[in-house]
């Protein structure tokens, strides 16, 4: 099942089910007005949403409308909680080597995670409006899971059962602002502006055999200004999503609608490229002694997509420009 949220002038948008081929949509607001409502009432809402999806896929509906990704908000336009991990340790290892950083104690056994802002997510076709190019504008391709209510102390195995939807995100970062915030020990704030989401949130079964061991076993295709940038594979997560959820829930419950991110998709193999500019710059520093690739400029475009075995987009592509924010 594929779900999306369409722009309707409200903060939370209109929930729709989307056909498997991504071409058609069907209003689902009579089942759940928003995705947040759906996830809070998943046991009753999911069967009804699935029935709508099945009818849409078989053509047994009269009210379908063409699905326009440009009309899509983030599937969950605002979340009560957004926790982003760093589950691909190859990414951290590159950063440590490039900047001569001390290894983080316990990083190979305990996931790294920060709590970000979830009040203003943007759609995957919306412009990314930011104040200044000097802030080091970077994209970061990640996978994300949306959970229902998770009890405190949930095991990693149990945590996997709480994953109801999978999403794909461009977790925008401002690299020039990050070092000071990391040194304070308080974590990111200004360095993490609004993140953008691919149009579709999908149930794990939509991935077929590509979803197992709590990981998305598919490459994330990334292009920058129409040029190939990377295709790192999601299977190389050091910590799976069950472990990330369990980490977040160690000392507190997670409310339905919590989003948990994988961190930048990264592979040890250099031939896979990267899902963020900072990683490419780290590789350049290691190999050439200095970074050669600049960060994004206003007018630049980033494209991210994940293709299924049929060659079709699973989440709907992220395709967006960086523009200067207007005061």
Q: Choose among 171, 198, 210: nearest CA to 313.
A: 198
Question: Rounded to whole angstroms, how far apart are CA atoms 266 and 236?
Answer: 7
Question: Rounded to whole angstroms, how far apart are CA atoms 327 and 251?
Answer: 41
For residue 17, what pLDDT is reported?
Answer: 98
Those residues of the chain that have pLDDT short of 50 are none
For residue 101, what pLDDT is reported?
Answer: 72
For residue 322, what pLDDT is reported?
Answer: 98
Helix 89-99, helix 277-288: angle, nearest 10: 50
Residue tagged 């089910």 (tokens): 17
For residue 144, what pLDDT is reported?
Answer: 98
3-state SS assignment for residue 57: helix
Name the residue ranges covered by the structural domains of the chain.
2-67, 82-324
> What class does CATH assign to 82-324?
alpha beta
């Amino acid at each position: 099942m594929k779900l999306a949220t369409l722009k309707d002038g409200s903060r939370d948008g209109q929930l729709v089910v989307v056909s498997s081929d991504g071409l058609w949509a069907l209003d689902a607001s009579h089942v759940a007005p928003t995705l947040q409502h759906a996830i809070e009432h998943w046991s009753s809402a999911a069967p009804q949403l699935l029935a709508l999806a099945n009818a849409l896929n078989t053509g047994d509906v009269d009210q379908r409308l063409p699905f326009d990704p440009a009309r899509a908000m983030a599937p969950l336009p605002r979340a009560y909680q957004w926790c982003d991990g760093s589950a691909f340790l190859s990414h951290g290892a590159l950063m440590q080597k490039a900047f001569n950083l001390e290894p983080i104690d316990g990083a190979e056994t305990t996931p790294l995670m920060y709590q970000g802002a979830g009040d203003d997510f943007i759609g995957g076709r919306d412009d990314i409006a930011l104040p200044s190019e000097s802030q080091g504008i970077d994209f970061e391709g990640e996978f994300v899971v949306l959970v229902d209510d998770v009890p405190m102390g949930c095991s990693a195995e149990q945590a996997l059962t709480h994953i109801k939807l999978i999403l794909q995100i461009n977790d925008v970062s401002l690299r020039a602002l990050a070092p000071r915030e990391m040194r304070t020990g308080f974590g990111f704030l200004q360095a993490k502006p609004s993140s953008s989401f691919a149009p579709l949130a999908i149930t794990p079964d939509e991935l077929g055999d590509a979803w197992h061991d709590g990981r998305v076993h598919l490459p994330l295709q990334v292009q920058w200004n129409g040029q190939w940038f990377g295709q790192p594979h999601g299977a190389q997560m050091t910590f799976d999503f069950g472990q990330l959820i369990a980490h977040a829930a160690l000392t507190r419950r997670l409310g339905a609608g919590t989003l948990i991110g994988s961190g930048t998709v990264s592979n040890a193999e250099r031939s896979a490229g990267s899902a963020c500019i900072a990683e490419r710059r780290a590789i350049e520093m290691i190999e050439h002694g200095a970074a050669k690739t600049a960060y994004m400029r206003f007018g630049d475009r980033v494209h991210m997509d994940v293709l299924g075995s049929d060659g079709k987009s699973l989440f709907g592509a992220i395709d967006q420009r960086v523009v200067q924010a207007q005061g």
